[in-house]
Amino acid sequence: DAKTTQPNSMESNEEEPVHLPCNHSTISGTDYIHWYRQLPSQGPEYVIHGLTSNVNNRMASLAIAEDRKSSTLILHRATLRDAAVYYCILRIAGGTSYGKLTFGQGTILTVHP
Amino acid sequence: DGGITQSPKYLFRKEGQNVTLSCEQNLNHDAMYWYRQDPGQGLRLIYYSQIVNDFQKGDIAEGYSVSREKKESFPLTVTSAQKNPTAFYLCASTDSPVPSNQPQHFGDGTRLSIL
């Protein structure tokens, strides 16, 4: 999987929006952008994914730059339960990567009451 | 609700002992995975299985073994050959045997420590 770069940590206040950036300058045309998050002592949880267009679901929104070299995960109103490590991952559509996820260091999000 | 169940949540291993971590899913998924996570690190793939009775080594398979006799079950054995087994072990599954943009579903993990 191609490499992604994320800030080590970010902070937010409760009920404010959070924008988590991810750079992926070596992305190829068939790489999907996936986001997962992991709470302490739990398994990762799928958040959202996209290819070219912006995506919305009940958890978050994903804004993808026009050149696809960067993306931003948007949590519209942060809650204390959103405090977690957020991982941005690129996945090849098909191919021989046998579906494994390559996790980097991720961004530690702290949410203040 | 469908999901992945890992047991036990905590496991202790004595020197020279083999231990088996359980992973069961009721999502009817074909593909299953085992990952290892060390403190402050991302996940690394140990073994994966795309279909029943088939499995392949991942990036760090040495000292581990698996079986896939049933679609819903993918147990991982940590053998005595694994010299540094202390870690957080995560099982995952996904719908398609050749996953593309399918999300992976994870269990809540087993934390293995050495006595």
Which band of pLDDT confidence, cut at 50, 70 and 90, is reported for residue A103?
Answer: confident
Residue A111 to chain B, least CA–CA distance (Å): 19
Of A46, A51, A105, the CB nearest to B104: A46
Contact of B99 with chain A, judged by CB distance below 8 Å, is answered with yes
Q: At A82, is the secondary structure helix, strand, or coil? A: helix
Question: Is the CB of residue A88 less than 8 Å from the CB of residue A48?
Answer: no
Separation CA A71–CA A65 (nearest Å): 6
Residue B88, φ and ψ in degrees, nearest 5? -100, 120
Res A104: pLDDT = 82
Name the DSSP letter for residue B103: P
Q: For each of chain B's 115 residues, which pLDDT tens digit applies?
A: 679 999 999 999 888 899 999 999 999 998 999 999 998 888 899 999 988 999 999 999 999 999 999 999 999 999 988 889 999 999 999 887 555 577 889 999 999 998 8
In this structure, which amino acid lies at residue B54?
Answer: D
Tell me the longest C-alpha to C-alpha distance in chain A: 45
Q: Find, in chain B, the residue whose alpha carbon is nearest to that of A108.
A: B40
Q: Do B105 and A46 lie within an 8 Å CB cutoff? A: yes
Residue A77 Cα, gap to closest chain B Cα (Å): 24
